[in-house]
Structure 1
Amino acid sequence: MRKILLIGTGGTIACGHSEDGLKPLLTPEQLLSYVQDSK
């Protein structure tokens, strides 16, 4: 079984639009939900 280490640093992959521009919105858990075999 392969292991994945995900470090959530709030980079552009986790950003979304806000009134003040881009800001981190996704948690590491939310990002992992996009990887089908991560559970």
Structure 2
Amino acid sequence: PKGTPAPEVKPSVWLNTQGKDVSWSRLKGRVILVEKWATT
């Protein structure tokens, strides 16, 4: 089944956390995109 497309999310801040410690409390209330790339 198809639903209504969601509106585009326009981030106010880009946060690249690769290699850094980020607490859940800092991320609370934010939209989070997690990308995981793997090769075989």
Bin the TM-score by the shorter chain.
under 0.3
Q: Report the TM-score when normalising by structure 1.
A: 0.21
Task: Report the structure, 1 or 2, having the larger helix content.
Answer: 1
Instruction: Considering Cα pairs closer than 8 Å and 6+ residues apart, tell me whether 1 or 2 has the greater RCO.
Output: 1
Q: Report the TM-score when normalising by structure 2.
A: 0.21
